[in-house]
Chain A
Amino acid sequence: MKPFQFTEALGADPKNVALPLVARALVESGENVDAERALASALLLEQRIERAFDIRPPEFLAEQLLAISR
């Protein structure tokens, strides 16, 4: 697998891509000596993005929404 395909695979659908398998394939293929570092960096970015997206709704919102059915 070429580095571009690797990054595309990550960008395409990380939830559906078996990342460890991709990493192992890369390392075994020897096509990208920095594969492990690239994978670690990509995974770290995913974690940072997911953490950044994680916001809490205001506490009053649930009560407001429940009031719709009353």
Chain B
Amino acid sequence: MDARQLAFSSLVQSLQSELYRFAYWLCKNQAQAQDILQETYLRAWKSMDNLRDRSAARAWLMTIVRREYLRTFERKTLATIELDELPLVDDAMPMDELADVARVRAAITLLQTKYRVPLVLQVIGGLSCSEIADELGLSEAAVMTQLFRARQKIKLLLEPSSAVPNSSNVIRTERFKNNASEA
């Protein structure tokens, strides 16, 4: 393995989980998230020589992910919600916590794109308000408002009387499938 391959391998090992999460929560589809990552790393491999500052790799790759998502979105590829197929965070997590994770995920997927994208950029991408504003071409005040409203909406959706489906059946099914595949 040459130095270029080693550098690329390091980018894959260190960032692919985070980039996958980022891509998934942008498009809400596992297959599409995998495609976005393939394309992102392909572009990264082709133009790796332009990346002189390795510490900027994360931001660089996140920008490629987001551009690739926009390109996919502009092609109007069907984005489906497939919460029941999402891998569990922790198979040993108590049932009530798993149900809560599923409920919050369902609430996040119900957010409009204009609220979900800044939230994803902030929580997963770790971007500041001004960075999100630059990335989305919005004012900082607009980003602050969207982030505030995103959380308010999630909070409302998580209230017992809300329309977010009770996901405990999904969790049971998923756990059963996991146990069955391990057996």
- Interface residues, chain A, with chain B CB atoms under 8 Å away: 7-8, 10-13, 15-16, 45, 48-58, 61-62, 64-66, 68-70
Q: Can you report 6 A-B residue pairs in the complex whose CB atoms are below 8 A from each other?
A: A11-B147, A15-B122, A48-B158, A57-B20, A57-B34, A70-B5
Interface size class of B (residues with CB under 8 A): 35 or more
Q: Which secondary structure dominates chain B's binding surface?
A: helix
Check A11 against B144 for contact (C-beta < 8 Å): yes
- Interface residues, chain B, with chain A CB atoms under 8 Å away: 4-5, 8-9, 12-13, 16-17, 20-21, 24-25, 30, 34, 37-38, 41-42, 45, 86-87, 89, 100-101, 104-105, 107-108, 119-120, 122-124, 126, 128-129, 144, 147-152, 154-155, 158
Contact check: which of A8, A56, A66, A69 meets B148 at CB < 8 Å?
A: A8
Chain B residues near A49 (CB, 8 Å)? 104, 108, 119, 123, 151, 154
Chain B residues near A52 (CB, 8 Å)? 101, 104-105, 107-108
Q: How far is the CB of B175 from chain A (nearest CB, A)?
A: 15
Q: Which 6 A-B pairs have the closest CB atoms?
A: A11-B148, A52-B104, A57-B20, A12-B144, A69-B8, A56-B87
Check B148 against A55 for contact (C-beta < 8 Å): no
Check A50 against B128 for contact (C-beta < 8 Å): no
- Complex: how many Å from CA A67 to CA B30? 20
Check B12 against A66 for contact (C-beta < 8 Å): yes
Contact check: which of A15, A48, A58 meets B34 at CB < 8 Å?
A: A58
Residues A66 and B9 in contact in the complex (CB < 8 Å), given A49-B154, A50-B123: yes
Residues A55 and B38 in contact in the complex (CB < 8 Å), given A8-B148, A15-B126: no
Q: How far is the CB of B96 from chain A (nearest CB, A)?
A: 12
Q: How far is the CB of B50 from chain A (nearest CB, A)?
A: 16
Check B128 against A13 for contact (C-beta < 8 Å): yes
Beyond the given pairs A55-B86, A57-B20, 7 more chain A to chain B contacts, judged by CB atoms under 8 angstroms and listed by A's residue number, are A8-B148, A13-B147, A49-B123, A53-B124, A54-B89, A65-B12, A69-B9
